[in-house]
Structure formats: structure tokens, C-alpha cells
């Protein structure tokens, strides 16, 4: 049986390798070969398995808890900065009674919007002084990185009081021209909801909520956006329309109409994003769908019957509002030869319309 120090050394080597290989996630399971997720694919690593007791011990060390506390909790979210290795978000959990650990590398340097190839609407988000900006997408689609890039740009280009509420803290922000206060759920505040209530008493200009995951949090998010603050948050919805419907679905039936008008009034930008395999090489590229609120968009949000017109409104707003649908984004990536035709077709909302546009535009595929 290996010692905890040997396991720590093995883990440090694994995490260094993960950073060098640009792995998005590291998966450790007691008695199993470690796995890296690279370019969206899960791959085994040539490394000895870590046994259960050692995995418990090193997980407790990373989470800042005792092994007994970790075992009693059964699961635990944490972030950890390993000097000389990097910063990581961790989730310890149990699988059939055995220990498991998922780790996500977090770059110490926040990528710029140009480096991430973020849509032009993100520049509008940085210039806003109030309202709701939502970044949406499935797990692992770069939502936290996009939010961090937007917030870092705000912090270095304007003088504002910025408060973040995260579970756990991921990217670490420098003040820049602004003052940034980062608060972690479970350490600095009890919950997202409590943190938001406190934040409203702390003279904020910008509030970042790591994730709007329930009705309580979304209620306070809407209230903060309605009260003249800029609120940034994320949610797990695949596209703009499902994001709008998902937020409204958090409300009780009797609140639906009220929430429609509140959301229409507060909403400024939605960025729904997916990371797709890069054509002919390693890495992934960002495909996005973007909403920028204007009177036609607000009318769609307010009236359930008009929601069917939302996609057409996004298409029409491409030139002046910098809105676009996912399929329009896929066409641009195809035209730039950044993704394959097969990937575009499998990701498209309307594959038939996508193929017609490819023919009309004479895009070489």
C-alpha cells in the first residue's frame, strides 16, 4: 500500500500532465486507472491506480477537511491551488461505497475574450451597468470561463464594486480598476440566496452568481437586476429558448405571467454556448447562440404565444444587435473551416436548413 505522501506526489504528477495536455477534467476512482477528458473525449492515463484510503486522505487534504468529515459528508465541492502545479475545482463523491474524485483545472491566467473567440455581444455585456446577463450551456461547455473573461474585462476597464458568490470560488480575480470581493458558499456565506441578500447591502455595482440553480436564487437574481445592478450568472440550458423557458419554469404557475414581465424587463444578454471538436487538430472551438434584448425580443419573452418567433428575431438581429442562432454560428465556423460538416449537422437545430444555407452560400465543406 502506498503512503499518502506518495499518493500526493502521484496526484501532483497527474495534474501537471493534465495541464500540459490541456485536459478539461481529471477523474479518479478508488482502485481504477486515472482518466483525463481531452477535447471532449475520456482517455485512460498510464498511471498506477490510487487505492481508496489514499484517495480519501488526499481528497481530504485538498478539500481542507479531515477524512472523517469527508466520509460523513459523502460528497464535497472545493477549489484548491497547488503551488507550482495550478488551480483546480474538485468534487469528491462516492460510487458504490468507494471514493471518487473529479478535478477540473482552472487557468491561473483568465483568458481574454479574443482568445476564447467570444461573440461580439460579450463586449456589450461588459459595457452594461444594469440588468441580467446569462451564460448558458451543458456541463463542461466553458460557462465559468466565459463569465470570468467578461468580469475580468469589466474589472480592468471600469471603476466598479464587484461581488462574486461562488460554490466554490474558481477563477481568482485581480482588482484592476475595480474592487473585486469573492465570497464562497459554505465558507463566507451559507447559500447563494443568503449571499445575494447580503450583497445587495454591500453597495455593489456588479454581482456574479456562479449558478442560478433554483427558484430562490433566480428570484433574488431578478430582484437585483431590477434594482439597478448588473448581474452575471450561468445556467444549464442548451440554447436561448430553453434558457428563457427554463427560467420561467422555476416560477409557480400563479407567478408565470409576473415572471414573464420581470424577465423581459431585466434581461439584457443570453449567451448559450457549446464547445465542438476543432477540425483536423486538437482543441475545441466555441459555437454560440446569442440574444440581445430589444423590443421584439422582450415581446417574445412576455407573451408565450410569441415565443415561436424568438429564433427568427435572433436571425434578424445579426447585423445590428449582434444576435445570432446556433445554426448561424455553425455556418461561420464551417466557412472558417474550423469544424467538419458532420459536426455541424449533428449540432444543428435544423440540419435541413443548415444544408440549404451551405448550398446557397457555396460554402466549401
CATH of the domain at 64: 3.30.450.90
Give the mean model confidence (pLDDT) for residues 74-101. 89
67 and 126 co-located in one domain: no
Q: What is the Rg, in whole angstroms, of the alpha carbon atoms belonging to the chain?
A: 22
Give the mean model confidence (pLDDT) for residues 16-26. 91
Q: Is residue 352 part of a domain?
A: no
Backbone angles phi, psi at 240, to 5 degrees: -60, -45
Cα–Cα distance between 261 and 63 in angstroms, integer? 42
Which burial class, exposed, middle or buried, applies to 341 when counting CB atoms under 10 A from its CB (0-12, 13-18, 19+)? middle
Structural domain range at position 70: 4-106
Decide: 325 and 350 in contact? Cβ < 8 Å: no
165 and 314 co-located in one domain: yes
Give the mean model confidence (pLDDT) for residues 96-105. 92
19 and 120 co-located in one domain: no
Q: Tell me the Ramachandran region of residue 123: left when phi exceeds 0, alpha when psi lies from -120 to 50, beta otherwise.
A: alpha
Q: For 310-360, how does the pLDDT look when each residue is reduced to its tens digit (9 = 90+)? A: 999 999 988 788 899 999 999 999 999 999 999 999 999 999 999 999 999
User: What band does 4 get if pLDDT is binned at 50, 70 and 90?
Assistant: low
58 and 202 co-located in one domain: no
User: What band does 3 get if pLDDT is binned at 50, 70 and 90?
Assistant: low
**Which residues are bridge partners to 285 per DSSP?**
276
CATH number at residue 318: 3.40.50.300
State yes or no: pLDDT of 89 exceeds 50: yes
Give the mean model confidence (pLDDT) for residues 154-169. 95
Nearest by Cα to 274 from 143, 133, 115, 132: 143
How many distinct structural domains can be found in the chain? 2
Q: At 259, which helix (H) or strand (E)?
A: helix 256-266
Give the mean model confidence (pLDDT) for residues 246-274. 95
Instruction: Give pTM, 2 decimals.
Output: 0.89
**Concatenated DSSP letters for 165-181?**
EESS--SPPP-TTSEEE
State yes or no: pLDDT of 84 exceeds 80: no
93 and 139 co-located in one domain: no
132 and 149 co-located in one domain: yes
80 and 37 co-located in one domain: yes
What pLDDT score was predicted for residue 105?
93
Cα–Cα distance between 328 and 357 in angstroms, integer? 9
Q: Is residue 49 part of a domain?
A: yes
Q: Is residue 93 part of a domain?
A: yes
Q: Is residue 151 part of a domain?
A: yes
Nearest by Cα to 165 from 259, 229, 243: 229
The residue among 320 and 88 whose pLDDT is bigger is 88
Q: Is residue 303 part of a domain?
A: yes
Cα–Cα distance between 325 and 348 in angstroms, integer? 10
What pLDDT score was predicted for residue 189?
93
Nearest by Cα to 269 from 116, 156, 150, 160: 150
Strand segments (E) across 107-211: 131-136, 161-166, 179-184, 206-209
State yes or no: pLDDT of 1 exceeds 50: no
State yes or no: pLDDT of 202 exceeds 90: yes
Q: State the pairing for strand pair 206-209/86-95.
A: unpaired
Which domain-ending residue is among 64, 81, 106?
106
Give the mean model confidence (pLDDT) for residues 103-113. 92
23 and 38 co-located in one domain: yes
Burial pattern 102-132, b for ≥16 Cβ within 10 A else e, equals bbbbbeeebbebeebebbebbebbbebebbb
C-alpha cell at 296: 421584439
Cα–Cα distance between 271 and 288 in angstroms, integer? 7
Q: Is residue 228 part of a domain?
A: yes
Q: Is residue 344 part of a domain?
A: no
Decide: 91 and 20 in contact? Cβ < 8 Å: no
Nearest by Cα to 82 from 62, 102, 59, 101: 62
- Which residues, including other chains, have CB under 8 Å from residue 197's CB and lie 6 or more apart? 220
State yes or no: pLDDT of 7 exceeds 70: no
Compute the 3-state secondary structure of the chain and give helix, strand, coil in percent, each to the nearest 5. 40, 25, 35
Which domain-ending residue is among 106, 123, 147?
106
Nearest by Cα to 2 from 35, 50, 67: 50
CB count in 10 Å sphere of residue 181:
15
193 and 275 co-located in one domain: yes
282 and 315 co-located in one domain: yes
Q: Is residue 351 part of a domain?
A: no
233 and 281 co-located in one domain: yes
Sheet holding 131-136, edge to edge: 179-184, 161-166, 206-209, 230-235, 131-136, 267-277, 284-292
Nearest by Cα to 186 from 168, 172, 204, 201: 168
| Residue bearing cell 446569442 | 290
125 and 267 co-located in one domain: yes
Which domain-ending residue is among 106, 127, 143?
106
Amino acid at each position: 500500500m502506498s503512503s499518502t505522501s506518495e499518493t500526493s506526489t502521484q496526484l501532483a504528477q497527474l495534474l501537471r500532465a493534465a495541464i500540459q495536455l490541456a485536459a478539461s477534467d481529471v477523474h479518479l476512482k478508488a482502485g481504477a486507472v486515472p482518466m483525463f477528458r481531452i477535447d471532449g473525449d475520456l482517455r485512460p492515463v498510464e498511471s498506477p491506480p490510487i487505492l481508496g484510503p489514499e484517495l480519501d486522505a488526499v481528497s481530504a487534504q485538498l478539500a481542507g477537511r479531515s477524512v472523517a468529515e469527508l466520509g460523513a459528508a459523502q460528497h464535497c465541492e472545493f477549489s484548491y491551488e497547488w503551488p507550482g502545479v495550478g488551480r483546480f475545482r474538485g468534487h469528491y463523491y462516492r460510487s458504490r461505497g468507494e471514493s471518487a474524485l473529479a478535478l477540473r483545472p482552472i487557468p491561473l491566467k483568465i483568458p481574454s475574450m479574443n482568445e476564447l473567440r467570444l461573440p461580439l455581444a460579450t463586449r456589450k455585456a461588459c459595457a452594461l451597468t444594469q440588468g441580467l446577463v446569462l451564460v448558458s450551456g451543458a456541463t463542461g461547455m466553458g460557462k465559468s470561463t466565459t463569465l470570468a473573461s467578461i468580469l475580468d474585462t469589466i474589472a480592468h476597464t471600469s471603476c466598479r464594486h464587484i461581488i462574486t458568490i461562488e460554490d466554490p470560488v474558481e477563477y481568482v480575480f485581480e482588482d484592476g480598476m475595480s474592487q473585486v470581493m469573492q465570497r464562497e458558499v459554505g465558507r463566507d456565506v451559507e447559500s447563494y440566496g443568503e449571499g445575494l441578500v447580503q450583497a445587495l447591502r454591500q453597495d455593489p455595482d456588479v454581482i456574479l452568481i456562479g449558478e442560478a440553480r433554483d427558484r430562490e436564487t433566480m428570484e433574488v437574481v431578478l430582484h437585483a437586476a431590477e434594482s439597478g445592478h448588473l448581474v452575471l450568472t450561468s445556467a444549464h440550458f442548451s440554447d436561448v429558448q430553453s434558457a428563457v423557458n427554463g427560467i420561467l419554469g422555476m416560477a409557480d404557475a400563479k407567478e408565470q405571467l409576473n415572471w414573464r414581465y420581470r424577465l423581459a424587463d431585466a434581461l439584457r444578454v443570453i449567451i448559450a454556448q457549446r464547445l465542438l471538436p476543432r477540425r483536423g487538430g486538437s482543441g475545441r472551438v466555441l459555437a454560440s447562440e446569442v440574444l440581445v434584448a430589444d423590443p421584439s425580443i422582450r415581446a417574445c419573452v412576455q407573451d408565450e404565444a410569441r415565443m415561436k418567433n424568438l429564433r427568427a428575431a435572433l436571425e434578424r438581429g445579426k447585423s445590428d444587435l449582434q444576435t445570432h442562432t446556433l445554426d448561424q454560428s455553425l455556418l461561420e465556423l464551417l466557412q472558417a473551416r474550423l469544424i467538419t460538416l458532420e459536426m455541424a449537422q449533428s449540432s444543428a437545430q435544423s440540419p435541413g436548413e443548415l444544408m440549404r444555407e451551405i448550398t446557397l452560400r457555396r460554402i466549401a465543406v
